[in-house]
Structure 1
């Protein structure tokens, strides 16, 4: 956005806590600062506050790169690399960052209470495509034709997803009847950087959650390390 820096009414300050973008509950919510709040800003960002086990649900951006900066707490970020067909996962502490390239599918899980991160974009208005919308709006017949899945089972599985879910799991998750399926421990070999082992974020070459799709409803942050 072009801003006249010579204007007498030029404003270069704003409060990123004022506009709430999404609120799951009092401890898990997102505030924002974009061009609508500060016209002079050339980019924009979300403040994200999360408790242990809460996650920013799977999604992707069609027009922006995203940089995650951990301020307090600890998180695990995961992004799917479409070129190598790998899921790249990093465990981040305060001061560490993770990038999500434009168009790459990603999510993030809080490993501690009182987690605070900033999600910073390289454009002032990010487009967001939520996996929850992809799942609930794709007709069961299309899923059957595309992937040969049972259409009725697919419809039953996604039926509880009735709206865009940004911070998960849903607040009514504990009341849902979700069968318990054993989760297989993943096999991975994080890279070793001599002399810097304690400083490097963890990289996992495959999905650390295993094949069980219900992991998102009963995440155990101590399971993988």
Structure 2
């Protein structure tokens, strides 16, 4: 859709933009988002887009766009596009692969998760400036006491649970710190299991004052 008041004879008109130079958000070298809006390319009509790069299991956090619908196109890799239909309160999970799309109507709560490394998605909006409300902002900006009272939760435990968010808009999650902590915890659990088995294999069994015949116990 073109903009009727646009002066296409102006010397200030632009018809080219490099998304690689218009970064919206960076989590790390494999997870980031570039953007294009009318402020970047002033001859755009009522359209904009996000150029999204994700590694396996990284998520564009739950959010909604109050002023725009979103069409998600898979360029490479694969992703699960999920949303809640507000008319029947049902959750849909749509797997998209290269050449496939998923459509998210305006105002619907949704999120995207890569199911493989090097996933590349293009999110196209029917607005030159899509607005966002992110789940992390809802969780951190809503007073803990309100959440605890409303949902009958323990305020102290909830405050501790939400503290890693640190009032940060996550956008792409989990954070690198969270990923590193999970790897450390998995390693610690594996070491604990190995030590348990090692003690079990190397220990002698004592039966009421004597050892089984032939077993070395010194």
**2:31 maps to 1:28:** yes
After TM superposition, the structure 1 = structure 2 runs for residues 157-196 of structure 1, keeping only pairs within 5 Å, are: 157-162=161-166, 163-176=168-181
Q: SS of the counterpart of 1:159? A: helix
Match of 1:92 in 2: 96
- Per-residue CA distance 1:130-186 (angstroms, 9 max, x = gap): 100111121121012221111112111111111000111111013447999xxxxxx
After TM superposition, the structure 1 = structure 2 runs for residues 105-120 of structure 1, keeping only pairs within 5 Å, are: 105-120=109-124
After TM superposition, the structure 1 = structure 2 runs for residues 7-18 of structure 1, keeping only pairs within 5 Å, are: 7-18=10-21
In the alignment, structure 1 segments of 5+ residues that lack a partner are: 181-225
Aligned residues: CA RMSD = 1.8
**2:40 maps to 1:37:** yes
Matched pairs, number:
180
Deviates more, 1:75-84 or 1:166-175: 166-175
Q: Closer, same or farther in 2 for the Cα pair 1:175/1:73, shift >3 Å? A: closer
Match of 1:78 in 2: 82
Q: SS of the counterpart of 1:172? A: helix
Shift, 1:11, TM fit: 2.3
Q: Distance in 2 between matches of 1:88 and 1:80?
A: 6
- Please identify which structure carries the higher helix content: 2
Match of 1:52 in 2: 56
- Per-residue CA distance 1:11-57 (angstroms, 9 max, x = gap): 22222221111010011111111111101112110100111111111
Q: Distance in 2 between matches of 1:5 and 1:69?
A: 30
TM-score by length of 2: 0.78
Q: SS of the counterpart of 1:160? A: helix
Q: Distance in 2 between matches of 1:62 and 1:123?
A: 11
Q: Which entry has the higher C-alpha Rg, 1 or 2? A: 2
**2:165 maps to 1:156:** no
- Per-residue CA distance 1:33-89 (angstroms, 9 max, x = gap): 111110111211010011111111111111111110001110001001111110011
Match of 1:101 in 2: 105
Q: SS of the counterpart of 1:103? A: coil
